[in-house]
A = this chain, B = another copy of it.
């Protein structure tokens, strides 16, 4: 157990793009659990696009991250000391531990996981929040049918990579959108999508059209802006959009939908969703995802930064799309 607890605090709210200096590293004494509490040592910190929204002081579905407090974040770790009847030292647990090495929990939101069958980090990725997000968007929002074309943006990311594979397992043609040829090659070659289109390429719209010869029936949208408009331009009648993220706008850019007329003409259903609204479905989703992982039907990639010190740099890089798959920080 570390002698001191390194923590990243939110030091300032970004004007537009988040920068490393928005965070401040401090060291405190390790906390001691009282009755009903557990002390958790963080092994992996999950870095996710939603965190950028929490840095702003804007109305959202969750309260803003307070300045001067430890940054919010999902973690996988190990109970090192327990004074809570449901946990004991050595338990592998997932929870919202934040950007730090050690944290106390009263057990609320702390979930024991099986770190024998699946690697611990998978519980922050395909068998965790990003996986459930993909599952919900497919199974409860878009419900694409066999033979339909499912377009997944940010397809090389933690959520998109699962969404496209789930679509394929439903019998859909899965087409990804990702940034750059290396990511596109990964999405097709490693993840098994039918095609992947590079949104940075000058012929993006033509390539998208060619990759979706029967149009698009379902969009799993993580990006927004021109990527979403390009998708809407290929949309078939009665298409669905599961609006999961808008990473194109997280750094302050404008991301209007220009093809509004297409939403009407094609009778599109666009549904914004937040996976934390649906905690009742997480056990079912995780059971299904863990099964697919165990049987090798669901593949995933991780980008792991080393040491809690690296968290801000890795976070800013993830917002720029530098990661492949789930962005993690190995804390211990």
| Residues of chain A having any CB pair with chain B under 8 Å | 53, 59-61, 224, 228, 237, 243-246, 249, 254-258, 260-261, 263-274, 277
In the complex, residue of chain B having the shortest beta-carbon distance to the beta carbon of A255:
B260
A246 cross-chain contacts in B, Cβ below 8 A: 260-261, 264
Residues of B contacting A254 with CB < 8 Å?
258
Contact A267 B61 (CB under 8 A): yes
How near does chain B come to A241, taking the closest CB pair, in angstroms?
Answer: 9
**A70 to chain B: closest CB distance in Å?**
23
Pair A61/B265 contact, Cβ less than 8 Å: yes
Which residues from B are CB-within-8-Å of A224? 260
Evaluate whether A261 and B249 lie within 8 angstroms (CB atoms) in the complex, with A61-B266, A267-B61 already known: yes
Some 30 contacts from A to B, beta carbons below 8 A apart, are A53-B265, A60-B265, A61-B237, A61-B265, A61-B267, A224-B260, A228-B260, A244-B264, A246-B260, A249-B261, A254-B258, A255-B260, A255-B261, A256-B256, A256-B258, A256-B260, A257-B257, A263-B270, A263-B272, A264-B272, A266-B272, A267-B271, A267-B274, A268-B270, A268-B271, A268-B272, A269-B270, A269-B271, A269-B272, A270-B270
